[in-house]
Chain A
Amino acid sequence: MEQYVRPKDSYTIFYDSLHEGEWIRSLHPHFSKASLIPIIDPGNNIPSIDQLIAYDRPDVIISYEGRPFLVIERTEEVPSSHNCGQRFARIVRASELGVPVIYFFPFVAQKHGAESRERQRFGKANQRYVNPRLFSAFERIEEIHDTLIIPISWPVDSEYELLRTPEKDVEIKCVLHEIVKWLECRKDLTKLGVQPNIVESKAKASREKDTRYRSTKKNRGPPPSVRIERTSAIVEEYRINEPVTTKLLKRDRSVVYRMGMRYLRSDPYAGTLALYDYLYARTGPRTTDRCMNVVTHAPNIDSNDWNRIRETGSQRKDVSLFRLFSDCIILGDVAVI
């Protein structure tokens, strides 16, 4: 059996919300006395944390001996439809920096609300399932950045209500145990993905992905907000002018993501855009490594809105992410790079 000794105070938990930091502390004995430090506005954290939050702020970052080694994202929402990519950009950023990610979310859960009550009255099922494109996009990230993303399902009871008892943490604790042991023995996370609990968690996610693709035909192709066209047709349809045209025509095809937002905002569009970039276009770690253009179409935003926000808030997350993950942004009245 491998022996390892944990240096004192070697772990630090950086959290977005104190609840989440406290939760992490409960997941592994070596975290129980970890320092808890809030993640604050960009530019005010230690550099390694600022780098990780450059696109978006993850729920938790854990560092070991001063080096971030794991990002944990957690949500009780099923990433079931258009919002499935809402948290994607922060996962991309961790992967770019070679930091593994655990993403803890329900693969299925009961949906609540007036519409749900109505469906129940007619005896219709009311649970929501994860959008399998999310898993496919994770696989692309892992291939491109040679990193590890571990989706773990937040368990539900027989009526698809989320478990909120300690039982919900069984799987994530097993995975964390492996990560911590590996880290403390070897000091790096190379080949971590061959550990049995991690293999099992990833296999579960893969099975869920396959099941969801099999059960819902509409998931097999691009979603309604996305179409893939010849670039020349896109240029003509939207009457795109120079210098945007020349740039776009360097690639034969383009993936066009239509965003229905009526005012410029980030969620869920910026993360979803990143997801479609990885799912359909990205071939390498740089945003120039694409087999087709990524074109963002925001018909309800005009150049006045765009320029006003760029001038007054150039550091805004939405603006920077739309620019980062797009080759071109088609606004209501003009196309911009």
Chain B
Amino acid sequence: MKPLREDFIFLSVERYLRKQSWEILGGEPPDGTSNRFRRIYIRSPGIRPRLHSQDSLKVDLISAKQGILLLSEVKPRYSESDKSKLDIVAGERRNDLFDAIWERCKIPKSSFKSVVKSLAFTAELRVDVPPDFVFFLVYPNQTVVARTGGLVNPQIFG
């Protein structure tokens, strides 16, 4: 299948999550200014960058539902580098992530009982879903199908 545009995948996943009652906390659409949500920059502590975007990580979409924090990265095709980035954000930079959410959304870390990582891309699955990930497979008609890894409760996606 020809890969879908990143902005199409982004919008499809955003709509899917809203339908599933996820609250979009922040994010940044590809090549575009967000109409509806804030940018959340995840920064290292103790560094005083002159520019707000320096030394920061951004996740395409950050959503929350029932104490679960969902991090989503969007690409036309499966991206190993996006997977690594989410591993870092949810792993060694987890405190920075919660600091950023507190700064921009005023939601304390204690509100979240778990962090789930997800990748969204054109529906064409050639890799196994890692146990701690969700894959959102997006079709040309905007249908989104969630495939969950073994450690993720599939019921959180309807």
Q: A residues touching B (Cβ–Cβ < 8 Å)? A: 16-20, 22-23, 38, 59, 74-76, 111-118, 162, 164
- Known contacts A17-B29, A18-B11, A20-B33: does B5 contact A113 (CB below 8 Å)? no
Which label, helix, strand, loop or mixed, suits the secondary structure of the B interface? loop
Instruction: Tally chain B residues at the interface, Cβ within 8 Å.
Output: 26
A-facing residues in B18-47 (Cβ within 8 Å) = 29-39, 41, 43, 47
Interface pair A18/B49, CB less than 8 Å apart: no
Contact at A164–B33, with CB atoms within 8 Å?
no
Flag if B103 contacts A112 (CB, 8 Å).
yes
The answer to whether B7 has its CB under 8 Å from any CB of chain A is yes
Question: Number of A-B pairs whose CB atoms are under 8 Å?
Answer: 64
In the complex formed, the residue of B with least CB distance to A77 is B33
When chains A and B are docked, how far (Å) is the Cα of A295 from the Cα of B60?
40
CA distance A17 to B32 in the complex (A): 6
Q: Is the CB of A38 within 8 A of B5?
A: yes
Query: Shortest Cβ distance from A117 into chain B, in angstroms?
Result: 8
CA distance A18 to B9 in the complex (A): 10
Contacting pair B34 A19 (CB below 8 A): yes
A164, B29: Cβ atoms under 8 Å?
no
In this assembly, does B50 line the interface, its C-beta being within 8 Å of a C-beta of chain A?
A: yes
Alpha-carbon distance A151/B117, docked complex (angstroms): 40
A30 to chain B, nearest CB (A): 19
Q: How far is the CA of A17 from the CA of B33 in the complex (A)?
A: 9
Does B34 lie within 8 Å of A18, measured CB to CB? no
CA distance A18 to B5 in the complex (A): 9
Knowing A18-B7, A164-B38, say if A111 contacts B31 (CB, 8 Å): no
Nearest 10 pairs of A and B residues by beta carbon: A17-B32, A113-B52, A18-B7, A19-B29, A17-B31, A19-B32, A17-B7, A114-B48, A23-B35, A76-B33
